[in-house]
Structure 1
Amino acid sequence: MEARVLVVVLAAVLSVSAQNDVGESRNNRLIERIKSQGYPAELHQVTTKDGYVLSLHRIPHGRDGSPGPRPVVFVMHGLMSASSHFLHLGPEYAIAYNLADAGYDVWMGNQRGNRYSREHVSLNPNDAKEKLEFFDYSWEDVGTIDLPAMIDYALAFTGQEKLHYIGHSQGGTVFLVLASMDPEYSNKKIASAHLMAGVGYMENFPFAPLRKLSDYGSILYALGTRMGIVEISFDALRRSESQTVEQDGLVDYCAGDEEYKAFCEMIGVPYLMADRLILPAIPEMGGSSLKQIAHFAQNIKDGSFRRWDYGPLTNLRVYRSLTPPSFDLSKVTVDVTMHYSLSDIVLHEIDVLAMAAAMPNTKARKIEKDTFRHEDYIFSKD
């Protein structure tokens, strides 16, 4: 009996260790990639109050810069994305490199559960039971827990009092969550915020296929969790970390196995991935929880920007209201610029202007190129 227990414990330890090794190798490869392109690079990790181990990738200065204090800018990725996307276009065009060369100390965050932050102090995301708890988070948790943990770390490490924030898509969403729920913190720590297609209000959500799918978001989320599908990831398609991902069939593996191809299609992953599939290779898709997508679906369906909807009875217990409360953007008093474009399939100009009007110190900036898309902030050379 003791031998059997020892074997089980040893297997569990080896499993967690193996996963940690995978995460460590991914992070180290990204750091080496930055260095190979002529920039200094550092890996930092911070543990959240609920046990997630988050990785931050830092470029302290540009190729021609020298060590020393400089303004800190924190860059946050979108849904199913990662810090590496801010490096994808290389030294000439990628925003992280451009910022470093412009004189900033660049910190790139990674939300809980993505490919660079897929660790926890006690939960194994690969365990059939523990993954249900590990991936039980939405973008609200990223905004209220992950962001302040990473921001506090970056400021403490650099000795700065404030930083500048840049968020793309969901990276803007989580800023709006944090700044509306804890405006005192945001005003104290964030000097300015630039939201590139920052998703918030969804009353005029423009993309009809996803709007139609959102009607079934809660049902699909319940179905997915019942099937044990709680993570949206693309790593299962790769035979090895060094291989280029083949585009055909990428979304078929979003739930870890082609067996669940139909479910990937039902939750709209082909639509969400459409722009990214034109890339020659996608070696670092970040991944997300199914609950993140379901939370967006709830907001699209209701034309709102509000907290997770548990259902009337649980809402009453959690929020003291039958419906989840909306995020009050009038409390966001940070200096914010909302960058938007007319060809964005997930963010409508009317909603952007409404958000800008609701926030006291916010201005909206329309991209001059009318064909500029949601992903072009990250993946377009112009």
Structure 2
Amino acid sequence: MLNFSSVLTLFVLFFVSANASAIDKVFPGNAIINSSINDVDTICKSLVQTQGYACEEHKVTTEDGYILSVQRIPAGRSGKTANKPPVLLQHGIFVDAATWLLNSPDESLGFILADNGFDVWLANTRGTKYSSGHTSLSPNDSAYWEWSWDELVQYDLSALVQYVHYKTGQKLHYVGHSLGTLIALASFSKQEKLINMFRSAALLCPIAYLNQIQSQLTKVAAQLHMAEGLYNLGYHEFPPGWDVLGPILEKICNETGCNCSDIMPALTGPNCCVNASKASVLLKHEPQPTATKNIIHLCQMIRTGTIAMYDYGSEDENKKHYGNPNPPAYDMRNIPRELPLFLGYGGQDMLADVDDVEALLNDLKDHDKGELFQVYSEEYAHADFVLGVNASQVVYHPMISFFNLH
């Protein structure tokens, strides 16, 4: 029987330069908020300061009005102020910045980077608990949820990178997991001015192509057009209530023959190194909501095997939005060859499948020598890259060495 905690786990692990006056127009009212010492319900107070680290809460307003929460860890546990460049950490879908902080300080990437002298910035995608604000809309408004990962590329990532660049006066390193890699790759492929603000990018479980995905649960959901059905019924925020979602998931589990009482391996692959005791901690912070339209967009990628902007379902609708009958493509071959890239992927990952990652690497085959570094772990699945108890040795230490070179 598919129980509610199983469903929560499913969604948690589904995918896992300007002058001052110009910046003030882009980021209205983005003063640092106090570390919220009297407010336990913040990432700084509940997850960072409790571990002995300094933490700042920031707000960044996107061009389309979403107010994003950002946490900064400006010093290591010793109290020594960062003496290395900023690093922006971008989580995947159904989670928030907590995902980088849930293990011990010696196992969590956010803390490890701070202890290694980096100025750490933690992003929270629009729609998640701490980034639910908007200049004119409420999450109760269906219009609030009218976005897909196209908008995360165009607005969220752009605003975050410009903000960190402005606040620090430095180019930054970037770390993305799952959906956090897709929005970066899409941005890089456009070669906009934002590219000049990056030193390098580390992409964990890189998502570009999705058509060879091994998770049968995810493939069947895409083939059944589950998200489109929910959207057409008026459910623009995802996931909807359990009364709506439960019967759908039961149907998918029955059709795939999956053991949905043990959903994690069926969905993400058999994660080798996630501490089971962290499940209860994880569920205090996740799952975080996203837009149903965002799920539709990802399902379009699974069905078509392409990396393109959101397909509105008809030539006329696409012409209204793009001036063309088909959505414009994001061409991974357009990513600048000189941009240093670190890719980490695993042999057991059923979401960022090895064959799909290899297709991406083929697009990057002309990358400048020495600027494309890969870490492959045969035993790692999707969640191991952010929650694995040995990820510091397998992934993070090589990543830090890569950052130090750039």
Instruction: Give the deviation of 1:266 after TM superposition.
Output: 6.4
RMSD of Structure 2 on Structure 1 (CA): 2.5
1:330-372 superposed Cα distances (whole Å, 9 cap, x missing partner)? 221121122111100012222212212323346352433x221
Alignment of 1:46 onto 2:64: no
- Secondary structure at the aligned position of 1:148 is classed as helix
Q: Is the 8 A contact 2:215 2:267 kept in 1?
A: no
Q: Is the 8 A contact 1:52 1:119 kept in 2?
A: yes
Instruction: Give the deviation of 1:307 after TM superposition.
Output: 1.1
Taking the aligned partners of 2:251 and 2:131, their CA distance within structure 1 comes to 27
Taking the aligned partners of 2:251 and 2:40, their CA distance within structure 1 comes to 32
**Distance of aligned partners of 1:212 and 1:225 in 2 relative to their CA distance in 1, 3 Å threshold:** closer
Matched residue, 2:220: 212
- Where do 1:1-382 residues align within 5 Å? 28-33=41-46, 34-67=48-81, 69-126=83-140, 130=141, 132-160=142-170, 162-181=171-190, 183-217=191-225, 220-232=226-238, 254-263=239-248, 279-281=279-281, 282-285=283-286, 286-311=288-313, 312-333=315-336, 334-359=339-364, 360-361=367-368, 363=372, 365-368=374-377, 370-382=378-390
- Secondary structure at the aligned position of 2:98 is classed as helix
**Distance of aligned partners of 1:304 and 1:26 in 2 relative to their CA distance in 1, 3 Å threshold:** farther
**Distance of aligned partners of 1:267 and 1:53 in 2 relative to their CA distance in 1, 3 Å threshold:** farther
Instruction: Give the deviation of 1:202 after TM superposition.
Output: 2.1
**Distance of aligned partners of 1:303 and 1:68 in 2 relative to their CA distance in 1, 3 Å threshold:** closer
Instruction: Give the deviation of 1:38 after TM superposition.
Output: 0.6
Taking the aligned partners of 2:165 and 2:117, their CA distance within structure 1 comes to 17
Instruction: State which drifts further: 44-53 or 25-34.
Output: 25-34
Q: Is the 8 A contact 1:353 1:364 kept in 2?
A: no
1:164-221 superposed Cα distances (whole Å, 9 cap, x missing partner)? 000000000110121112x13243111100000021112322223322321233xx33
Instruction: Give the deviation of 1:154 after TM superposition.
Output: 1.1
Instruction: State which drifts further: 277-286 or 332-341.
Output: 277-286
Q: Is the 8 A contact 1:172 1:196 kept in 2?
A: yes
Q: Which runs of 5+ in 2 are unaligned?
A: 1-35, 254-259, 391-406
More relative contact order, 1 or 2 (CA 8 Å, 6+ apart): 2
1:139-166 superposed Cα distances (whole Å, 9 cap, x missing partner)? 1111111011011111111122x10000
Q: Is the 8 A contact 1:356 1:363 kept in 2?
A: no
Q: Is the 8 A contact 1:213 1:266 kept in 2?
A: no
1:81-106 superposed Cα distances (whole Å, 9 cap, x missing partner)? 10011001021210100000011000
- Partner amino acid, structure 2, of 1:101: D
- Secondary structure at the aligned position of 1:192 is classed as strand
Instruction: Give the deviation of 1:377 after TM superposition.
Output: 0.8
How many residue pairs get aligned? The number is 329
- Secondary structure at the aligned position of 1:100 is classed as helix
Matched residue, 2:12: none
Q: What is the TM-score with the length of structure 2 in the denominator? A: 0.75
Taking the aligned partners of 1:69 and 1:185, their CA distance within structure 2 comes to 26
Instruction: Give the deviation of 1:69 after TM superposition.
Output: 4.9
- Secondary structure at the aligned position of 2:192 is classed as helix
- Secondary structure at the aligned position of 1:166 is classed as strand
Q: Is the 8 A contact 1:255 1:264 kept in 2?
A: no
Taking the aligned partners of 1:158 and 1:55, their CA distance within structure 2 comes to 17
**Distance of aligned partners of 1:86 and 1:47 in 2 relative to their CA distance in 1, 3 Å threshold:** same
Taking the aligned partners of 2:40 and 2:290, their CA distance within structure 1 comes to 17
Taking the aligned partners of 1:277 and 1:367, their CA distance within structure 2 comes to 21
**Distance of aligned partners of 1:141 and 1:40 in 2 relative to their CA distance in 1, 3 Å threshold:** same
Q: Is the 8 A contact 1:356 1:364 kept in 2?
A: no
- Partner amino acid, structure 1, of 2:345: Y
Instruction: State which drifts further: 72-81 or 329-338.
Output: 329-338
Instruction: Give the deviation of 1:378 after TM superposition.
Output: 1.0
Taking the aligned partners of 2:373 and 2:294, their CA distance within structure 1 comes to 26
**Distance of aligned partners of 1:113 and 1:56 in 2 relative to their CA distance in 1, 3 Å threshold:** same
Q: What is the TM-score with the length of structure 1 in the denominator? A: 0.79
1:258-307 superposed Cα distances (whole Å, 9 cap, x missing partner)? 35422455689966589799513311112211111111101001112111
Q: Is the 8 A contact 1:352 1:364 kept in 2?
A: no
Q: Is the 8 A contact 1:179 1:185 kept in 2?
A: no
**Distance of aligned partners of 1:69 and 1:98 in 2 relative to their CA distance in 1, 3 Å threshold:** closer
**Identical aligned residues as a percent:** 28
Taking the aligned partners of 2:69 and 2:40, their CA distance within structure 1 comes to 8
